[in-house]
């Protein structure tokens, strides 16, 4: 077998591949040259430069695996690769330590004014008295997000004798307790934390999570560290909070727009230290992702199981034929269910009714978990690791199969149980391939799960829907489709409204401020 490495990767990964197979390293290939030679190869290793398009995959008649030496796979047509039975894999853990250590480094540099002291001394100034810092010992660190990196930061902060409080609605209290971390609600962190570090994905719920309003609730002199995602912290509000002395300082590695605009207000403040998205930029991390990908490429070519596939594992053809049309629907049902949920998740039930219950549906359950977790976590969730991630977070998964049906030949029902309440979403196929959401919390609907969706329970009285439409119209957001259904609660309806674009958090606040709206939620199906 032959392997093509078409982007620069660490030599350690290449050498590992060479011990097992014939390897060609050809970087910087023009698109037409890649098309010409790709039929020779059984596996392809890329980073971000090579674009693995449908045309490339059509030409890759012998290709069995594509390995991305990194996390993101935006340069690979994953859906087309899946159709052709090509396994796409990445290296999600190779840079975890690098990102963790960078966060801690930024926190220490912020506490001791290291960049400012360095710059002043290089400029011929001895400003020792002006560079007074603070100790980490005894301070309270608030961690927003307890994934791999957040947990790693907590472990290292404990070694510095810091007190840890954390917010993560998608991890169980038992799991947090096992790590020695006190789990609290987000609002409980603000008044007690001396340092706040973010390790959350950027979603509709987390965009501008830290803003003018939340800064005002924080302990005076708090320090903010963001090495997670740009846009989770409102940059202009942070700059204002620093200038006003509410925030003593900030350490920022990621920005809403990258490369960052050099007129960004954060770049003009001495109390804000910045780095150009260096979280994963270590020699060891680059070696780590290259070695991880090489090991898994070898495993795929040997027919062995792997743990980093971003598309589905192979299954029996007759099973795949039955369940293939449901994969996208299952993922989007998981996405919808988690966006409706309130509180900490304890369990997920997936019930299959009808003919679909007669085959192995484990992969569809995995699709539900994948859609659910990808909506809330920074780490990439795929068909291989989704069950393990759910288990590690203390989320119980239960499958129920029944041949009994009511109004549909086949029906999938997803129930998310939290410590506050449960939410139920049901879906089916119209025709052979058209996925539809047909029930939300017991209320009959007919929803095409695509783009952006606003789900808004409301009091059944005139003017409410019109007022919501006015809010959207004033924001320049077009309503693509809408339906209203009566809920199980007497005197209330549910509005399900499809829109053509994302709805900013400020606009959602205005919608929820409409008199009679009972908690509207925004769902982004385009992220699934």
Which secondary structure element, helix H or strand E, spans residue 332, and what is its range?
A: helix 327-340
Note whether 17 and 44 are within 8 A (CB): no
Which residues are CB-neighbours of 81 under 8 A, at least 6 positions away?
52, 57, 66, 87, 88, 311
Compute the distance between CA of residue 107 and CA of residue 243 in angstroms, rounded to an integer: 19
Tell which residue, 366, 389, 376, has the closest CA to residue 92: 389
Given the residues 258, 321, 355, 434, the one annotated as active site: 258
Strands 182-183 and 163-167: parallel
Compute the distance between CA of residue 335 and CA of residue 352 in angstroms, rounded to an integer: 18
Q: What string of H, E and C letters represents the secondary structure of 91-108?
A: CCCCCHHHHHHHHHHHHH
Compute the distance between CA of residue 14 and CA of residue 8 in angstroms, rounded to an integer: 10
Compute the distance between CA of residue 402 and CA of residue 349 in angstroms, rounded to an integer: 13
Cis before 394 (ω within 30)? no
Note whether 200 and 378 are within 8 A (CB): yes
DSSP string, 348-416: EEEEEEEGGGGS--HHHHHHHHHHHHHTT-SS---TTTHHHHHHHTT-EEEEEEES--SSSSEEEEEEE
Which residues are CB-neighbours of 311 under 8 A, at least 6 positions away?
78, 81, 82, 87, 88, 382, 383
Which residues are CB-neighbours of 70 under 8 A, at least 6 positions away?
47, 48, 90, 91, 94, 95, 280, 289
229 catalytic residue (yes or no): yes
* C-alpha 423, offset from chain centre: 21
277 catalytic residue (yes or no): yes
Given the residues 40, 156, 173, 277, the one annotated as active site: 277
Note whether 402 and 392 are within 8 A (CB): no
Task: Show the DSSP H helices in 39-165 as ranges.
Answer: 54-59, 78-83, 96-112, 114-122, 148-159
32 catalytic residue (yes or no): no
Given the residues 68, 102, 199, 229, the one annotated as active site: 229
How far CA 302 is from CA of 21, 63, 295, in Å, comes to: 11, 14, 11
**Residue 293, number of CB atoms within 10 A of its CB:** 31
Compute the distance between CA of residue 133 and CA of residue 249 in angstroms, rounded to an integer: 11
Strands 422-430 and 410-418: antiparallel
Catalytic residues: 229, 258, 277
């Amino acid at each position: 077998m032959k392997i093509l490495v078409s982007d620069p990767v660490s030599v350690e990964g290449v050498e590992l591949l060479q011990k097992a197979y014939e390897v060609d390293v050809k970087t910087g290939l023009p698109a037409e040259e890649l098309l010409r030679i790709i039929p020779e190869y059984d596996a392809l290793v890329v980073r971000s430069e090579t674009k693995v398009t449908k045309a490339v995959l059509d030409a890759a008649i012998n290709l069995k695996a594509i390995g991305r030496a990194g996390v993101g796979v935006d340069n690979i047509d994953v859906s087309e690769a899946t159709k052709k039975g090509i396994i796409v894999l990445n290296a999600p853990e190779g840079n975890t330590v690098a990102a963790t250590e960078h966060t801690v480094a930024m926190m220490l540099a912020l506490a001791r004014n290291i960049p400012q002291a360095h710059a002043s001394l290089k400029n011929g100034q001895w400003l020792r008295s002006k560079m007074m810092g603070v100790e980490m010992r005894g301070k309270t660190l608030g961690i927003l997000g307890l994934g791999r990196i957040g947990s790693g930061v907590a472990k290292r902060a404990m070694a510095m004798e810091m007190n840890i409080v954390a917010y993560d609605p998608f991890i169980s209290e038992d799991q947090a307790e096992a790590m020695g971390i006190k789990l609290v609600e987000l609002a409980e962190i603000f008044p007690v934390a001396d340092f706040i570090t973010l390790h959350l994905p950027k979603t509709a719920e987390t965009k501008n999570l830290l803003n003018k309003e939340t800064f005002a609730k924080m302990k005076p002199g708090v320090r903010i560290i963001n090495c997670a995602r740009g846009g989770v912290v409102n940059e202009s509000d942070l700059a204002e909070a620093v200038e006003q002395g509410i925030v003593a300082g900030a350490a920022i590695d990621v920005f809403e727009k990258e490369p960052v605009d050099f007129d960004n207000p954060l770049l003009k403040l001495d109390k804000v230290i910045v780095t150009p998205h260096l979280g994963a930029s270590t020699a060891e991390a680059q070696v780590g992702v290259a070695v991880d990908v090489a090991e898994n490429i070898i495993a795929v070519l040997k027919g062995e199981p792997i743990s980093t596939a971003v598309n589905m594992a192979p299954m029996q053809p007759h099973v795949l034929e039955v369940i293939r049309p449901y994969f996208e629907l299952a993922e989007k049902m998981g996405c919808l269910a988690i966006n409706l949920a309130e509180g900490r998740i304890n369990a997920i039930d997936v019930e299959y009714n009808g003919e679909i219950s007669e085959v192995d549906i484990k992969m569809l359950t995995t699709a539900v978990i994948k859609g659910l977790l990808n909506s809330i976590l920074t780490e990439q969730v795929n068909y291989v690791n989704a069950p393990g991630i759910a288990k590690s977070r203390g989320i119980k998964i239960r499958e129920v199969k029944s041949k009994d049906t009511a109004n549909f030949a086949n029906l999938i029902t997803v129930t998310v149980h939290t410590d506050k309440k449960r939410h139920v979403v049901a879906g089916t196929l119209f025709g052979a391939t058209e996925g539809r959401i047909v029930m939300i919390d017991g209320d009959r609907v007919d929803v095409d799960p695509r783009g952006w969706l606003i789900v808004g329970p409301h009091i059944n009285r005139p003017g409410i829907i019109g007022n919501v439409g006015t809010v959207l119209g004033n924001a320049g957001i077009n309503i693509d489709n809408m339906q209203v259904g009566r809920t199980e609660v007497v005197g209330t309806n549910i509005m399900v409204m499809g829109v053509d674009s994302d709805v900013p958090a400020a606009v959602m606040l205005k919608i929820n401020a409409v008199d009679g709206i009972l908690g509207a939620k925004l769902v982004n199906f385009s992220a699934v």
